[in-house]
Amino acid sequence: MIEIHALNKFYALKDININFEKAKVSLVYGESGSGKSTLLSIIATITKPTSGKIIIDGENITAYNDYFASSYRAKKIGFITQEFHLFDSFNVKQNIAVALTLTSFSLKEIEQKVQEIAQKLHIEHKLESQVSQLSGGEKQRCIIARALINEPDIILCDEPTANLDRTNALRFIAILQEMKKMKKTILIVTHDTIFEDLEFIDARYKIKDGVIE
């Protein structure tokens, strides 16, 4: 469970108290600038809150220093962002595989895992391509592949369909359904209406001006 207690961030979040259940899919929706992305960034230990804490598996992750936060993200978190944080000097295969560099997988195992996730996201034909050769949707699928390849316990999705056409958005949603069956904890923040009526989403919360309503 992700337990959030009295979480504040200047100009973004105001006294957030909420629990996101383990092995469930939760949706936080709201307009741009409502605080959705800031909330996700704090849960991912990328951003520090002004005050408050987040407890995951009995640990206060907001108290981690940079080293422990980085290690925690690598082992536990799959973070799908709407921004393209890709390495321009790497090809698609290398950008996806970088998520496994701190693991004990062999090069052969890494190669297999990259192929498998690339096929699921229909970018296997782009594995040798440079980032500059990709469309916006292909870059987004590369980001998704990198976030999911290590099969993290917690999957955080920040506007994950923002750069996808409907066909690829539905493919991504199918992958989320697979992840739910594997008992992953999934948190989606978005204003995309494609998520409104999906039956596999367990809880929905509205955020406005930094407050969960």
Q: What is the mean pLDDT of the chain?
A: 91
- What is the model's pLDDT at position 28? 95
Low-confidence winner among 77-86, 164-173, 185-194 (lowest mean pLDDT): 77-86
Q: Which domains does the chain have, with CATH numbers?
A: 2-212 (3.40.50.300)
**Residue 62 Rama label (left phi>0; alpha psi -120 to 50; beta):** alpha
Q: Are 198 and 165 in contact (CB under 8 A)?
A: no
Q: Report d(CA 40, CA 37) in Å as an integer.
A: 5
Q: Are 161 and 192 in contact (CB under 8 A)?
A: yes
Mean pLDDT, residues 147-170 taken together:
89
Give residue-wise pLDDT tens across range 89-103: 999 999 999 888 767
- What is the model's pLDDT at position 105? 84
- What is the model's pLDDT at position 22? 94
Distances (CA, A) of 212 to 1, 89, 121: 18, 40, 33
Distances (CA, A) of 84 to 62, 68, 81, 199: 25, 24, 7, 29
Give residue-wise pLDDT tens across range 116-148: 999 988 899 999 999 899 988 898 889 889 988
